[in-house]
Each structure stands twice: as structure tokens, then as C-alpha cells.
Structure 1
């Protein structure tokens, strides 16, 4: 099978600007939706994690069983991974008491181990290879670890780092801009840049989500969590629907997959 054939079979979307916009919205939704269930509904972090992990497992199973890229199934799985990551990170850092630093280091090790094992077993961690069950399983495990890591990093920067939610959002936004500049201006490894950006979009979303729904006296805008979540869902749906109207979003085979 040629590289072009593998790209055509890939069950993940083309990595375009719209991809990254939806990814940031999805990670922000993960923060507001996760907090809605664990805090606003008073279910607690453990119960909320169990709910979202169950949904995530079901969606990953459906994603792996699919024979082609299905936009709404893919993004629903991304959202499930980021909501599960939100509540899981909060449970680990707050309920278990390992703290933001300990949680971040542990989860970074999990992401690194997942990528290492994926590369060791299949020879590549490029998303162009995500077209068969083993690669897809590694893909979703790595994504879930990265979403959880991003939540811990975002909270650590905003709270312990003393930057506040707005300051943390600016820091991670600048870091993503640096990665974008490296992608556009250099020949830096595309796989490394992709996964770096993928991880950093999560703490950006965590900071923005907290900025939206946290009380004013804690530096937030005090928006209703369910309302903010609904607006984010609507924005994601609109973008997924209009994406095929742009040539770069029509096909996984149409994009160069250094990532």
C-alpha cells in the first residue's frame, strides 16, 4: 500500500486551520461541559469521570468500527476525550491530592510512553497512519492522555502560576503561535509540531473555559456553564458543516501529511 493509499484511508480529518479552530472550541467545551457535570450538577469528579469515560469508550469503539472518516463521530469522540480529561485531571489533582505539578508530570510521562510504544510497535506516530485498529487505538489513547495533561497544565498555569485564566490563555496562545511560525517558516519535524500543538490546545481551552464560567471574584466572566457549553456545541456543529465547502477540508488525501 502506497503512502497516498494510506492517506486516503485515514479516518481522521485533514489538518487545516479549521481543524485547529474546532479543536480549540472542543477543548473549551470539554472544560465547561466537564465542570457542568462534576460541579454544577454536583456529581463530583469521580462520578463525572466514570460517565465520560464510558461515553468515550463507546465512541472510540464506533470510531474504530467505522470504515471511513465520519466528521460528527470523530468530533464527538474528541469532545468525549476532552471532557473525560477535564474530570479525570481534576480528580487526580484535587481529590487524590497529587497537585497540578505532580499530575502534569505523571500525565506527560503517559503521553510520552504512549507515543513511544505507538512508534515502537507501528513505526510511526503520524496521523496519516490512522487507518487500522491498532493505530487508531494508540491515537485515541494518546489524545485522551494529552487532553488530561492539558487540563492539569492549564489549571497549574492559571492557579499556581498566578497568571489567572486570561493570562494563562495568552501564554498558551503565544506558544501555539510559535509552533505555527515554526511550521510555516522552518523544516522542523511535522509530527513533533503536530503533537505539540495538539497538547497545547488543551490548556488553552481549559484556560478559556475557566475564564468563561468561573465567578467574577475568581477572575472569570461568570457565564452559565450549560449556556456556554451550548454556544460552543453550536459553533462546532456549524464549522463541521461548512468545512466540506473548502477544498482543503474535503479529503484526507488532499493534504500533505507531515503530521
Structure 2
């Protein structure tokens, strides 16, 4: 196989083989960001609900098994399949939330410390990915080592985002709604940096990707927690069900569009 044009956002020092261009991750569109933010909120409230109903240890064990199954299905897929991919993202969200929460609740690690630790872990994944593959562009994730590095980065972003959101909302005492509004404003920064200053698309993508986690989680927490904690007291279970239903609807829409595109290509 020869080399072909490098996709937008890919490091131009290394040509991407044709076989790698059939990416196993979705195109970055407005719908992508909407579903991503919804999964972060669902992961937050689902994690809290399961930890309360099942207990922390059984909840983490169950989420870990489901995450492993979801990632195994994603690894077996030969291309991007919306239902498979977004199921894996949801389970990463649930497990990543639990990882950050367990570090704080069970091990007593302050959110400031876990934030720094998860940031270093993410930086290490990015550094290894860049060193081995020459690019952090998601367009070239089509299996093998790059896919392992991609999902490692995704898991680290969820854990980091959870710790950051809890740091602002709980440790610093800003509350869930003000924190959510803060992250809503912050997520516009990478878009503006790309459009107005020409910041690299790969950098701004991952910058925004990290921020989706505390953004979605803070608003979901605000909807689910009690009035005493500054929330709407809708309950973590109901909020999870509503978010899950919306995600399922959007993924079904994406699946229909994906099948239509596949039929047109054939």
C-alpha cells in the first residue's frame, strides 16, 4: 500500500497509509460534541447512582467489566460503528468518574492532588502517542496501537475532567451551576483560538475534549443533587435515564445516517 494525502489535523512529517484512513472514530461535527457532552453528564449521574445502590466496590467492579466488554467490541469492529463507539464512550465516562471519585472518597486523595495526577497521566499518554505515532490526530485512529493510545487518552480525560469539576464545585465551593457556566465559557476558548488565532486543530480538539467532561458533569450534578447541595433535586437515577434516552435517540440517528452513507458509497 502506498501513502496518500494526510487528513486535516494530522502531522505532516509522516504520511498516513491508505489502510489507516478508514477511521474507527466519528467525524468531529456539532452532533459529536453534543453527544460527547451528554455522555459526560450521564456518566457522572450514573456513577453516583450505582455507587449508592450497589456500593462503591461492586459498582466499580461492574463498571470495569462492562467497560472491558465495550472496548473489546470496539476493538473487534473494522470501522466506525456509532452504537459500538458511543457505548464504549459511555462506559469510559462511568468508569472514569468512578476512578476519580474512588481516589477521593475511598483513598482520601484531595481533588487538587488527583487533578494534578490525572493531568500528568494524560500528558504521559499524549507524549507516548506522539513519540510512537508522530501525531495525535484522531482521523488516523483505525485500530492497533493508535486505538489503544486513543482510548487511554479518552479514559484519562474523563478522570481528569471529573476531578477538575469536583475541585471547582466542591473543594473551592463554587457550586455545580456556577462551575458549569464557567466551563461552558471556557469551552469556547479553543474554538476561538482555532478560528481567530490559527491554533492547531489537534491541540484545540483535545483542549475542548477535556473540557466537555466537567461541563457535562457539573450540569448533570446540578440537575440531580439535592437542594441542600445547590441542585434541582431531580435525582441521579432519573437524570441518568433522561440523558441515556437522548443519547440513544441521537446515536440511532447517527446509525441511520451511517448506513445511508455506506449504501451510497457502494
TM-score (norm 1): 0.90
Shift in Å, 1:241:
2.5
Please give the residue correspondences for 1:235-246 in structure 2 after superposition, counting only pairs within 5 Å. Answer: 235-243=246-254
Residue 60 of structure 2 is aligned to residue 16 of structure 1: no
Shift in Å, 1:22:
0.4
Larger Rg: 2
Shift in Å, 1:243:
3.6
Is the Cα contact below 8 Å between 1:244 and 1:250 reproduced in 2?
Answer: no
Please give the residue correspondences for 1:244-259 in structure 2 after superposition, counting only pairs within 5 Å. Answer: none
- Structure 2 SS opposite 1:9: coil
Aligned residue pairs, count: 248
Shift in Å, 1:78:
0.4
User: Which stretches in structure 2 are left out of the alignment for 5+ residues?
Assistant: 8-17
Aligned-CA RMSD value: 1.9
Select which of 145, 153, 160 maps to 1:142.
153
- Structure 1 SS opposite 2:173: coil
Is the Cα contact below 8 Å between 2:83 and 2:255 reproduced in 1?
Answer: no
- Taking a change above 3 Å as real, the CA distance of residues 245 and 77 of structure 1, as seen in their structure-2 partners, is closer
Runs of 4+ in 1 over 4 A off after TM superposition: 244-247
Shift in Å, 1:98:
1.3
Shift in Å, 1:246:
7.2
For residue 115 of structure 1, what is the aligned residue in structure 2?
Answer: 126
1:138-177 Cα offsets, whole Å, 9 max, x none, are 1111100110110010000011122100000011110101
Shift in Å, 1:250:
5.5
For residue 91 of structure 1, what is the aligned residue in structure 2?
Answer: 102
Please give the residue correspondences for 1:13-92 in structure 2 after superposition, counting only pairs within 5 Å. Answer: 13-39=26-52, 41-44=53-56, 46-92=57-103
TM-score (norm 2): 0.88
For residue 237 of structure 2, what is the aligned residue in structure 1?
Answer: 226
Q: Larger relative CO (CA 8 A, sep 6+): 1 or 2?
A: 1
Select which of 211, 221, 224 maps to 2:222.
211
